[in-house]
Chain A
Amino acid sequence: MQRRTLLKSALFAAGLGSFGGLASVASAAASKPELVDLLKVVDDRQRNQGDWRSNVYIEQKEKDKVAVVYEALVFRRSADQRFMILFTKPKSSQGQGYLRIDQNLWFYDPAVGKWERRTERERIGGTNSRRSDFDESRLAEEYEPEDSGEEKLGVYTAQVMTLKGKPGLDLAFPMIKLWVDKATKNVLKRQEFALSGRLLRTSYYPKWQKIYSESRKGDIWYPQEIRFYDEVEKQNSTLILIKSVDLKPLEANLFTKAWLESKSR
């Protein structure tokens, strides 16, 4: 990523952050069905109804620590909600991976040669990112929306929604506040809260990219860049870059423990 592009993205995030709370826009409250429909649109725009392969770059910055940078391959299959991450860099993490089978997330470490069951709250690679940040958006299935008005985020007019997790689902965050661009229906900003109501994480989505999906016979959108700011440990932040998205069908036996293990041999 070019330095100028990074700077632009950071300025975008900073701009959203500083104007977000100030510029409320007076408008009629959206009804719940309207909000559910909007969430479905947000999800649908990102769903390619097929297979997905991408390279991701994850950078974790923590106070008084050297920044940690990971590179990984992300694989997804819409049909049965399969999901897999295979770390390729740094060398110490090479071959490690996460695999979602049914409703369980498994972690594999080739150094110990064991699979461990993890939860949806698992911090991927110890960073502030979660499995759901890399997976297909399923907001309409997982959350109930409530209207929180409209806000101006820089030059964008955003529909703000407060999402509450549906009972019985294994979710990373019980409550989310979501800013959706009214014009494009892209997510601009997210805030994730603890059960106590405390803000845990703020995310910015400064760059969206579209790509043609053969399986869907149309364009789909994905965030090229996501920036997470830890709101509990204020000094920590995470950057995710999603690159080289490929929507061609993947091997049938890809989402298996054996496949992931074979990659570390």
Chain B
Amino acid sequence: MTAFFLDLRIAWLSLIEHRRRALFLGLAVAAVTALLVLLNGLSAGIRSTLVDTATTLSTGHLNVGGFFKVTSGQAGAVVVDYEKVKETVRKVLPELDFTVERGRGWGKVVSDTSALQAGIGGIDIQREAAFKSVLRIKSGNIDELAEPNTILLFEAQTKKLKVKVGDAITISAQTTRGVANTIDCRVVAVAEDVGSLSQWNVFVSNDSLRSLYQLRPDVTGAIQIHLKPQYVNDLGPLAARLRSSLEKAGYRIMEPDPRPFWMKFESVTREDWTGQKLDVTSWEDELSFMMWTLSALNGLSFVLMVILIAIVITGIMNTMWIAIRERTREIGTLRAIGMQRGSVVRMFLWESFLLGVFGAVAGAVVGAMTAGVLNSANIHVPLSVQLFLMSDTLKLSVLPSALGGAIALISIVTAVAALYPALRAARLKPVDAMSHFG
């Protein structure tokens, strides 16, 4: 124990002794750590925005959706007799927090001057407080969505359709039996864009959606399951349990397919069956078409991290070589008065590790503070970047675990980088080292 503290003390004193060099190296380590923290923060920010927005607007953590086929060539994305399905879900999934039923549709939204294709979500606005809290309403009153034949649009959509609150638009779609149908809706609210999700989603009341698709009251698009916070990362096992339980309860279940429901129409229509089949999906499945942004960012972060770590390793090794060269006589003296080779290695490793810890802690603090400043500045990003960030402002999410991880990683890397120079220093013969001039 005494030897441990002695090594640590020598390393510390050595850092103080060579404080100028230590300061420069520490700053470099801090800068790399801060960059790492910010990169992680951006990636985590996008993920958390995606989860928050998506699990409120278009999917639950888990979903029980499915298709009903009147004929083998005609599929509707509906769950019939959904109350019974919901009952089974409640029984087999104690991890469930709450559920909401959402109508699902796809159609053409037409104004007097323009048109756009959009996913049509049916919503019971009086029962969905979270929905209201996620959206920022620019104009109109979201509560009016409870009235029949009303619609909520996003800002970019109103620009394309050239409509405002109070204007009438038509939604044209085909019923689940494939008959052409329309409903006329009044725009009651315009919400701020929420990244790419708002590009192709509009919301009407569940009753309006039922009237458009000629659905019975016991039919819904999907049961969106919201889990208690501690279970949101256990989607795989929970989905598997839900699938097998629903199957045991007598429902026909579709094979797991990590794609959103609207991408499955083609394959479902090709299959030769009729009646109801249920489909259990997670939010990651329903948003798989957007997950590439996250994967791309994670990939980019990884590449940048490798480059940064390579820079740190090169810097540390280089500095240690210089230090060893400068301190060759010192090493020789220490060896001559009885210091073992292992202690020399430990001394240099500790020196490097301490430098890494101080640099990384300082960098993490700076990174976290910078993220805080960027978040509070509410920096608006252009539309093209919004699609990538899933938000109209730049949001970074710096988690304590990510901070700890960055500090640990950088500290260990700096210590490991000093290993080879330290071993070379330990191998010096005391006589040669003491007679070294340089």
Contact = CB atoms under 8 A, between A and B. Distances in A.
Contact of A116 (B110, B178, B266): B266
A195 B175 contact: yes
B180 A119 contact: no
Given A116-B270, A117-B269, A194-B172, A232 B182 contact: yes
A117 B115 contact: no
Interface string B135-159: 0000000000000000000000000
A233 B115 contact: yes
Given A121-B174, A233-B110, A172 B71 contact: no
B270 A117 contact: yes
A141 interface: no
A104 B270 CA distance: 11
Interface string B70-101: 01111000000000000000000000000000
B298 interface: no
Interface string B178-191: 11111110000000
Q: Is the interface of A mostly helix, strand, loop or mixed?
A: loop
B244 interface: no
Contact of A232 (B73, B170, B214, B266): B170
Interface in B56-73: 71-73
B114 interface: yes
Given A104-B73, A232-B110, A119 B178 contact: yes
Contact of A63 (B114, B180, B182): B114
B73 A195 contact: no
Interface residues of A, number: 25
Given A117-B269, A170-B74, A233-B115, A195 B181 contact: yes
Nearest to B214: A195
A262 interface: no
Given A194-B172, A233-B110, A120 B178 contact: yes
B323 to A, nearest CB: 63
A198 to B, nearest CB: 4
Contacts of B175: 195
A195 B181 CA distance: 5
Nearest to B114: A63
Nearest to A201: B180
Contact of A172 (B180, B181, B266, B269): B180
B182 A198 contact: yes
A124 interface: no
Nearest to B177: A170
Contacts of A171: 179
A196 interface: yes
B179 A195 contact: yes
Nearest to A235: B113
A174 interface: yes
3 closest A-B pairs by CB: A195-B181, A194-B182, A198-B182
